[in-house]
Amino acid sequence: MRAPDYFRQKIQELELKAPSEKSNFYREYTEFILNKMKTVSFIDSEGKDTEVTAFFANPERAIAKIHEDRSLTLPIITVSIDDIDEDSDRRRADHVLDVKTVWDKKSQRALRVISKASKPLNLAFSINIWAKYVEDVNQILETIMFMFNPALVFKTSNNSSTKSYIEQITDNSTMSAPDTKDRVIRKMIVLTAEAYLAYPKYLVTSTGEIEKYNIDVIIDEN
């Protein structure tokens, strides 16, 4: 195998030539936590196990939807992505390369793939629970808390071990509404996912050259 300096230079050359590509990085993480919230249920006043409606919306849009959409029944859960920061504690030097062995399902053989070291990012999400009754909020909150032991592991196409932790739980209720029908109790869970943004991968050919890698693979951890 050629020296790392050679591969770093070739990757830079290929990056300059490569057209821009659409990334599903943020979408995948958002969809994962949203789909997780769609599994939450609670026991209603009649003793029935009831699924909670969950959808993506920032708090302002969720409040508007609650008041506008008469068919929307509380409790509900909303998810929003709030902030994205690079994690300097997990940052790796720019000269580091990731080399992995992958399994090509089409050719049924192992291949060697190389890329720049993934960029560590912290993704901050807010999970808001909206309900009319404190008991419902507490039930839903307890169910979500059980998902973190102590971390909830995200699974995406590029990483199956991203850990997320609860940073804060706050009460943002509006209990002063004169009509109990309009009262909305809200609790917000702030969590941080310790993600990695993967760079494009390149195939190391049998001659020691590299080329853009676009084949669906299963990573062989061994």
pLDDT of residue 151: 97
In a domain, 198, yes or no: no
In a domain, 181, yes or no: yes
In a domain, 106, yes or no: no
In a domain, 165, yes or no: yes
In a domain, 209, yes or no: no
pLDDT of residue 104: 77
Residues of the domain holding 147:
4-87+125-192
Write the secondary structure of the chain as one string of H (helix), E (strand) and C (coil): CCCHHHHHHHHHHHHHHCCCCCCCHHHHHHHHHHHHHCCCEEECCCCCEEECEEEECCHHHHHHHHHHCCCCCCCEEEEEEEEEEECHHHCCCCCCEEEEEEEECCCCEEEEEEEECCEEEEEEEEEEEEECCHHHHHHHHHHHHHCCCCCEEECCCCCCCEEEEEEEEEECCECCCCCHHHCEEEEEEEEEEEEEECCCCEEECCCCCEEECCCCEEECCC
For every one of its 222 residues, what pLDDT tens digit does the chain have, with 9 covering 90 and above?
A: 577 777 787 778 787 777 666 778 999 999 999 999 999 999 998 899 999 999 999 999 998 888 888 788 999 999 999 999 999 888 877 677 888 888 877 778 888 888 888 899 999 999 999 999 999 999 999 999 999 999 999 999 878 889 999 999 999 876 444 455 567 899 999 999 999 998 888 888 877 787 777 655 444 444
pLDDT of residue 172: 82
In a domain, 95, yes or no: no
In a domain, 118, yes or no: no
pLDDT of residue 174: 63
CATH assignment at residue 131: 3.30.2000.40
- CB-CB contact of 183 with 177 (8 Å): yes
Closest CA to 50 of 37, 58, 40, 60: 40
Give the count of domains, the chain. Answer: 1
Amino acid at 110: A
pLDDT of residue 10: 79
In a domain, 35, yes or no: yes
